[in-house]
Amino acid sequence: MTTRMQIAMLIYMVVQAVTFGAGTVLVLATPLQTEAMTLMPAVVLLSSLASIPIAWWIAPRLQARFWRAKGRNADAISGPGVANSNP
């Protein structure tokens, strides 16, 4: 199993929780709330499926070698590249 796969599996549930929360807010805070009983199972399914490619996309950004290959330290997803840059 590759390192990317392992990282993606670790962050999948976090990504899934965020996408589920966004979908739930979209359904319950809009006029769609009248159809909530029908739409919520779809939100669960879509958030589960959409989280797979999102976690796969984020996973390499959490590896130091990804940023070394690009010649950069880090970005907003992976955080600061140097340990003492965090006050």
Residue 42, pLDDT score: 94
Task: Report how far residue 2's alpha carbon sits from residue 8's, in angstroms, rounded to the nearest whole number.
Answer: 10
Residues 11-22, mean pLDDT to the nearest whole number: 96
Q: Which of 16-25, 34-43, 55-64 has the lowest mean pLDDT?
A: 55-64
What is the separation of C-alpha 35 from the centre of its chain, rounded to a whole number of angstroms?
27
Residues 15-27, mean pLDDT to the nearest whole number: 95
- Residue 17 clears pLDDT 90, i.e. is over it: yes
The verdict on residue 20 lying in a domain is: yes
The verdict on residue 41 lying in a domain is: yes
| Residue range(s) defining the domain that contains residue 31 | 9-71
Residue 86, pLDDT score: 47
As given in the structure block, the two tokens for residue 48 are: 């589960």
For the chain, how many structural domains are there in total?
Answer: 1
The verdict on residue 59 lying in a domain is: yes
Burial of 51 (0-12, 13-18, 19+ CB in 10 A): buried
